[in-house]
Amino acid sequence: MTGGAPPDERGGPDAGRSGPGLGAASERCRVFAEGLTREERLLVTLRDTLYGGSWDDLEGDLTATLGKRPVVFKRNTRIDEDLARISRLRAFEREHGVDLASLLDLPGGSQRGRTP
């Protein structure tokens, strides 16, 4: 990914190459990705498919939907839960310098140069 923090030993663009801690970081990312729930995987897919890889756009759309009336409680609860999921997924991508779609081999995961 470009435009983010410089790669480090936590699993940035050099993950998988030899060096102290890089193999372990890559493994942590793989395990995290494999442990994503169906809902989290769907959010990663939606982000890449409908929002051009932008968490900001997906989050903005969900937030705007919350403001619309009439309110359906179940829908609002789901949106709140999805916003919390997005926060968690985005934080993981930033911390580890990875694209979850690439780790999951989802459509759109090959997009590069975007900021999680």
pLDDT tens by residue, 76-112 = 789 999 999 999 999 999 999 999 999 987 655 444 4
In the chain, the amino acid numbered 104 is L
pTM of the model: 0.67
Cα-Cα-Cα-Cα torsion 30, 113, 90, 69, nearest 10 degrees, comes to: -130
DSSP class of residue 110?
Answer: T
> Quick one: pLDDT at residue 45?
95
In sequence order, which residues have a C-beta less than 8 Å from that of residue 104 and are 6 or more positions away?
33, 36, 41, 44
Taking the domains of the chain in order of start, what are their residue ranges? 37-104
